Amino acid sequence: MLSKFTTLTMLAATWMVVMALPTGAHAQTARMRFESMDQNRDGVITRQEWRGTERAFLNQDWNGDGELSGDEVRLGARRSANFEEADHAPNRYERYVSWTQAGFTNLDHNRDRRISSNEWHFDLETFRRVDRNRDGSLDQSEFLGGDVDDARDASFDDLDWNNNGRVERSEWYGSDAVFTDLDRNRDGVLSRFEVVGGVNTPNDTYDEFASLDYNRNNGISRDEWHWSAISFNRRDTNRDGVLSRQEFAASGGAPGAVGTSGSQQRMTRVNAQERWTDTGVVVRAGDTITLNANGTVQMSDDASDTASPAGSTKGRRAPDAPVLNQLAGGLIAQIGNYGPIFVGGRRSFTAPVSGRLYLGVNDDHLADNRGEFTVDVSVNGR
């Protein structure tokens, strides 16, 4: 009897130790975001420790001090909680900034405690990422996020830092549960379609004014404006409390990286192995962008698999390219977080939004590409 009691006591003690170990291990692995990158374990992620693109690092460096620390690495933390002070400075790459109760209420125009896609005025990739149950709307728990890290501040292109057209677990720095949710075919990697969805059209006809004009009365009221009162009042030149389409257009649209209203010219080399090449040009909504592109790129080890700026010389398409149903290898553009826009062989198009202009090639797997396009970029204000 004593032996049995002793055995049970030992088993109970062992069980308590075993139960304690996962808890301690979990607490250790869940201390901070990006912990696997923190090589010296000082709670700070430097640019040298960062595994990813420069753009992705800048996106996470909320205060712009060149390292990730404090709230930037704290689990569940979000960027600026006050959209009255977050008018998207030109050097930022953030998508939406106020993941708070106030931010939720500001977007929930009809007060049904859900944010539908037509109440969301930002990039659809972020909307789809946050919509974890995939019902086409964001409830409050999804919007606030809690302690679940869905890497909502990073685009697919920022996560795919080896440019192979997919995001492996080693590239993903969000929660494992979110990765599993996104991995619909359970192949252990995230495709562009699983994360972003499909873009089938040239995608350059977006009407930013109409998107913000929720009640469709041809004016944007303060309640429909999702940035600061200062930025609203600056655009409301006649001081009637409503932004007309003309006032909105004259200011370059919503807050963002807004360039000058004059003409700009620059030559850019678009490397076929890089997802996006920064042209250094900042455009305003309504500007005419003219691109004179030349060159040939090779999209695989097959020497005949080539493309001009108009697209594949064989007429083929890439199954998981940024713009589906358009020729592989064709020239594409992105303005800020808006896009991708299929440019192809066109000489010019009108900027649908304001922001910094990036160029790339419409291919899914970039690592085996070769060559570049040379593009003369010219921008003329309206």
- Please spell the DSSP secondary structure of 238-261, one letter per residue: T-SSEE-HHHHHHTTSSSS----S
* Helix (H) or strand (E) segment spanning residue 193: helix 192-196
Q: How high is the pLDDT of residue 256?
A: 64
pLDDT per position as a tens digit, 247-287: 998 887 877 655 555 578 899 999 999 999 999 999 988 88
Distance CA 98, CA 111 (A): 18
Q: How high is the pLDDT of residue 118?
A: 85
Distance CA 83, CA 88 (A): 9
- CB contact set of 123 (below 8 Å; sequence gap of 6+): 95, 155, 337, 338
pLDDT per position as a tens digit, 323-376: 988 999 999 999 988 889 999 988 889 888 888 899 999 999 999 999 999 999
For the segment 312-328, the average pLDDT, to the nearest whole number, is 93
What confidence tier does 81 reach under pLDDT thresholds 50, 70, 90? low
Please tell me which residue, 45 or 250, carries the higher pLDDT value: 45
Q: How high is the pLDDT of residue 42?
A: 94
pTM for the whole structure? 0.74
Please tell me which residue, 82 or 31, carries the higher pLDDT value: 31
Residue 181 burial (C-beta neighbours within 10 Å; 0-12, 13-18, 19+): middle
What are the structural domains of the chain? 53-196 (no CATH), 264-380 (2.60.120.430)
Q: What percent of the chain clears pLDDT 70, i.e. is strictly above it?
A: 84
Place of tokens 């933390």: 77
The 10 Å Cβ neighbour count of residue 294 is: 10
pLDDT per position as a tens digit, 15-40: 443 334 443 333 344 578 888 899 99
Q: How high is the pLDDT of residue 183?
A: 94
Q: How high is the pLDDT of residue 80?
A: 61
Q: What percent of the chain clears pLDDT 90, i.e. is strictly above it?
A: 44
- Pairing type for strands 277-283 and 355-361 reads antiparallel
For the segment 228-251, the average pLDDT, to the nearest whole number, is 91
Structure tokens at 304: 């005949």
What confidence tier does 88 reach under pLDDT thresholds 50, 70, 90? low
Q: How high is the pLDDT of residue 258?
A: 53
Ranges 254-268, 283-297, 304-318: which has the least confidence: 254-268
What's CA 224's distance to the chain center, in Å? 23
- Across the chain, mean pLDDT equals 83
